[in-house]
């Protein structure tokens, strides 16, 4: 043994920070997230045996696990320091299991902040792994697998489309978005009018018509509108102008206090970052992760700048409160410090309150001080977190509120204004100037003159679409999901093309609406708000040790299977058995459940007939049609193959192509489901693999793209020195390149070859082909059917048939060659 202590964390960035803090007696390695999970291609859950999960080492983590095992054998002891939440506890449990460690022994440490003081103290007091936290995470993972594994194939078969998915939280969030869209589409605006007057009662001020005969003119919350047409507005306007005597009936002045907001939780951080910075939930959490894991502050070294960012607690550690109360009077003055500390109460008081709110690890480390060491987005988020925390421990803001009531005849006008008397916590958090309106000093009972009167038309507005901020807020209100699930849920909805962004707003796609409609009809409990919230509460009970986790899974699974059994399935036209979604190396397809007795199959995606779009081809004048390929729809000429005109039909970014200056950059999806961006003008080969921006390169004027997780701006021009990708042009022509070409020429010299194999030679080997391959080559090579007709017979596109034919013939020739060698 080396005598060193092995510390296992999740991320390599955190490993570097902690290694520098702990020193040479510790070896710190990263698991790089989860090391074990349920198998990809199997359910992995033993339903008959209390839903026992079957865990396997993830393919991409086998090397990591091997390195951890080697390091553990050399170490004198092992400490597991994954993130301090359910998921982190589960990762530690998996690592302990794979390293053959006893989880009941003291080997778990928690870093709620990554600072020298906390890290060094934590490694001295390890605890056993919290099995309740592990069980809560196991229950969540098993539930998600049961829903996804059973429901996603049903969706794909129902909508005849690849890569559809459903989830316990994801589908409920999608329902929220689609129901809001339905409200917007069904909204009928109501017309109403307001009257505003300018009065003089020793000083001028503006006031709005408030009451007529003691009845409110306007109440937006209750949708009470007394004046609903121009005719009514003009009639009231004439009556108001006819009033001869006006007086100030009342002047009310009072002091209003606005108290500081609590420090951030995960959801409120995502909401504030959305409203103040315009960021999505995913981006917010990625930047927060970097601030938590550690930033190199030069002489001070690497240190975590914020406490753990996945929390629903507003609790603050006593030492942090003391530090803030010492800092505030020195920085801003004694009047900004309340007599007693501000304490905040969260919505729930459970085990998760062991976490703190999100705060800076050291309040003396101001945003200005650390700015030189941070990227622009890291600085912006740290500044937001720092200000929110400091403001939470400051005095309330004080406003002077004034209300002036003016009466005349049967009309009452009212003016309301407020002036900030003392800024309090707003000194740090900032304030909105538009909320202030000063009113002059006027005496009660004073005569007033109406100087001006204007009538203005308004219409009620539909509810706004959800943004990341408002969706997270609504999910939190309903009890759907938990801090770690908000950002991944929104990202999944975008990735599955269930929603699309319009600015900051989330709008459901037609596919998203159809999926929700299907789920609401056939799986009402799965997408029920109350039921999903109850499951979250039950998971909290598992975490608190009040409930065995298999029981919680069973409560959800039984009604789910009942609903699943009632879903109508497409039947096999040959034998009448249900069809099910199957997967081969060539993709998904529908196959008979009676296999191998019945071998009927059909393509997953139904072939659609070309759809006219009402435009003519700019190349030959023939009508243009919409066609569908593997990667979605596209526009093509109906005269194909005589005319080969095509253009992309993909969501436009609204950004002009910097290469041809004519086309627009559109968002496309690759074969592997990853987005890329290209020009939609035929003949232009501009393409980038990261989101383009409206910013241009200061060196060449081309479009800049957001590169990597840190979203660093890079140029899209291959000839620019700031090009975002490896510049292949610069590499060509090098000596190494020339050597490769010379070597390639030598190895590709002409070889002596015999006569080509005939179909009669190859046919005996067709038994080794996939069913689709065999059917295709039998038709084309054996029966002489043209490839186009064979593709139509199989229900696939000509392009797919060509690839399938090439692959099948290659296999046959290889099999024939091997057999010939043996002979």
**Cβ atoms of residues 501 and 494 within 8 Å:** yes
Can you read off the two tokens belonging to residue 160? 């005849």
| Strand stretches in 537-643, DSSP E | 579-584, 587-592, 601-603, 611-616, 623-629, 632-637
Torsional sign, CA 285, 290, 292, 298: negative
Of residues 538, 551, 537, 526, the one with CA closest to residue 478: 537
Query: What sign does the dihedral 456-462-463-467 (CA atoms) show?
Result: negative
**Would strands 579-584 and 712-715 be described as parallel, antiparallel, or unpaired?**
unpaired
Residue in 262, 421, 422 with CA at minimum distance from that of residue 341: 262
The residue written with tokens 């017979």 in the block is 793
Q: Which of 192, 210, 292, 308 is catalytic?
A: 308
Please give the radius of gyration of the chain, using alpha carbons only, rounded to the nearest integer.
34
Q: Say how far apart CA 152 and CA 140 lie, in whole Å.
A: 17
Under 8 Å CB-to-CB from 807, ≥6 apart: which residues?
Answer: 773
Element (H, E) at 677: strand 675-679
Residues 274 and 235: their CA atoms lie apart, in Å, by 45
Pairwise CA distance, residues 154 & 567, whole Å: 9
Closest CA to 331 of 388, 391, 373, 384: 391
C-alpha dihedral, 722 to 724 to 728 to 733, nearest 10°: 10
Q: What are phi and psi of 617, to 5 degrees?
A: -65, 130
The set of residues, in sequence order, having a beta carbon less than 8 Å from that of 489 and lying 6+ positions away, is 167, 169, 170, 173, 475, 481
Strand pairing class (687-688; 675-679): antiparallel
Rounded CA-CA distance 804/234 in Å is 75
* Alpha-carbon span 667 to 655, nearest angstrom: 11
CB 336 within 8 A of CB 325: no
Residues 320 and 363 sit within 8 Å (Cβ to Cβ): yes
Distance CA 787, CA 779 (A): 8
Spell out the residues 6+ positions from residue 176 whose beta carbon is closer than 8 angstroms to its own. 466, 471, 474, 475
d(CA 95, CA 104): 13
Which helix (H) or strand (E) segment holds residue 183: the answer is helix 170-186
Provide long-range contacts, Cβ within 8 A and 24+ apart, for 650-656. Answer: 650/680, 651/500, 652/680, 653/677, 653/691, 653/692, 655/692, 655/693, 655/694, 655/703
Q: Determine contact, residues 679/656, Cβ cutoff 8 Å.
A: no
DSSP state of 55: -
**DSSP 8-class letter at 226:** S
- Strands 26-30 and 5-9, how do they pair? parallel
Would residue 308 show up in a list of annotated catalytic residues for this protein?
yes
Tokens of 240: 């108001």
Q: What b-and-e string marks burial along 255-265, b requiring 16 or more CB atoms within 10 Å of the CB? A: eeebebebbbb
Q: Which residues are catalytically annotated?
A: 308
């Amino acid at each position: 043994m080396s005598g060193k202590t092995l510390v296992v964390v999740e991320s390599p960035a955190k490993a570097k920070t902690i290694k520098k803090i702990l020193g040479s007696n510790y070896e710190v390695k990263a698991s790089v997230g989860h090391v074990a999970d349920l198998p990809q291609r199997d359910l992995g859950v033993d339903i008959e045996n209390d839903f026992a999960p079957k865990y396997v080492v993830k393919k991409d983590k086998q090397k990591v696990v091997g390195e951890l095992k080697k390091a553990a054998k050399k170490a004198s002891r092992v400490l597991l320091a994954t993130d301090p939440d359910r998921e982190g506890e589960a990762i530690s449990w998996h690592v302990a299991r794979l390293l053959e460690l006893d989880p009941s022994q003291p080997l778990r440490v928690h870093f709620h902040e990554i600072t020298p003081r906390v890290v060094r103290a934590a490694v001295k007091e390890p605890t056993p792994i919290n099995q309740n936290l592990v069980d809560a995470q196991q229950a969540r993972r098993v539930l998600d697998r049961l829903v996804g594994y059973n429901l996603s194939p049903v969706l794909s078969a129902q909508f005849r489309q690849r890569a559809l998915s459903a989830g316990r939280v994801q589908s409920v969030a999608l329902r929220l978005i689609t129901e809001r869209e339905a409200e917007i589409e069904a909204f009928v605006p109501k017309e109403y009018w307001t009257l505003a007057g300018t009065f003089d009662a020793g000083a001028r001020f503006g006031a709005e018509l408030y009451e007529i005969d003691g009845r409110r003119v306007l109440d937006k919350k209750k949708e009470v509108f007394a004046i609903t047409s121009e005719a009514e507005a003009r009639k009231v306007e004439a009556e108001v102008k006819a009033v001869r005597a006006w007086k100030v009936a009342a002047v009310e002045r009072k002091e209003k206090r606005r108290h500081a907001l609590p420090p951030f939780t995960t959801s409120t951080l995502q909401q504030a970052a959305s409203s103040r910075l315009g960021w999505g939930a995913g981006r917010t959490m990625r930047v927060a992760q970097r601030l938590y894991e550690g930033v190199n502050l030069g002489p001070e070294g690497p240190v975590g700048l914020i406490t753990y960012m996945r929390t629903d607690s507003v609790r603050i550690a006593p030492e942090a409160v003391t530090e803030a109360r010492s800092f505030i009077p020195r920085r801003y003055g004694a009047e900004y410090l309340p007599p007693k500390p501000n304490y905040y109460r969260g919505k729930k008081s459970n085990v998760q309150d062991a976490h703190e709110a999100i705060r800076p690890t050291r309040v003396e480390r101001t945003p200005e001080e650390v700015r030189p060491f941070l990227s622009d987005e890291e600085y912006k988020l740290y500044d937001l977190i720092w200000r929110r925390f400091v403001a939470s421990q400051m005095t309330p803001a004080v406003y002077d509120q004034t209300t002036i009531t003016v009466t005349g005849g049967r009309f009452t006008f009212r003016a309301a204004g407020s002036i900030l008397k003392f800024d309090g916590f707003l000194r740090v958090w900032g304030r909105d100037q538009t909320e202030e309106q000063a009113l002059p000093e006027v005496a009660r009972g004073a005569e007033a003159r109406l100087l001006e009167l204007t009538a203005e038309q308004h219409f009620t507005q539909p509810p706004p679409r959800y943004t990341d901020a408002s969706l997270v807020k609504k999910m939190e209100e309903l009890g759907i999901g938990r801090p770690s699930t908000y950002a991944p849920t929104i990202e999944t909805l975008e990735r599955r093309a269930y929603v699309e962004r319009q600015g900051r707003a989330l709008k459901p796609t037609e596919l998203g609406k159809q999926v929700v409609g299907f789920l609401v009809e056939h799986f009402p409990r799965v997408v029920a708000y109350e039921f999903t919230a109850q499951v979250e509460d039950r998971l909290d009970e598992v975490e608190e040790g009040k409930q065995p986790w298999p029981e919680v899974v069973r409560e959800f699974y039984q009604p789910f299977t009942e609903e699943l059994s009632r879903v109508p399935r497409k039947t096999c036209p040959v034998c009448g058995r249900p069809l099910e979604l199957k997967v081969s190396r060539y993709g998904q397809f529908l196959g008979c459940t009676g296999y191998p007795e019945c071998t009927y199959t059909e393509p997953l995606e139904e072939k659609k007939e070309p759809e006219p779009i009402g435009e003519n081809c700019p190349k030959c004048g023939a009508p243009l049609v919409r066609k569908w390929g593997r990667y979605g729809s596209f526009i093509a000429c109906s005269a194909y193959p005589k005319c080969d005109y095509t253009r992309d039909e993909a969501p436009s970014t609204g950004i002009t192509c910097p290469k041809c200056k004519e086309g627009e950059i559109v968002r496309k999806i690759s074969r592997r489901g990853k987005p890329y961006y290209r020009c939609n003008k035929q003949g232009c080969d501009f393409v980038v693999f990261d989101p383009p921006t409206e910013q241009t390169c200061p060196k060449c004027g081309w479009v800049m793209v957001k590169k990597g997780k840190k979203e660093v701006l890079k140029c899209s021009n291959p000839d620019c020195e700031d090009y975002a990708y490896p510049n292949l042009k610069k590499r060509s022509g090098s000596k190494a390149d020339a050597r490769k070409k010379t070597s390639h020429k030598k190895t590709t010299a002409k070889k002596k070859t015999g006569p080509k194999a005939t179909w009669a030679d190859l046919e005996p080997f067709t038994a080794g082909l996939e069913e689709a391959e065999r059917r295709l080559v039998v038709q084309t090579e054996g029966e002489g059917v043209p490839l186009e007709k064979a593709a139509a017979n199989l229900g696939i596109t000509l392009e797919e048939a060509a690839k399938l034919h090439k692959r099948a013939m290659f296999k046959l020739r290889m099999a024939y060659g091997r057999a010939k060698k043996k002979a």
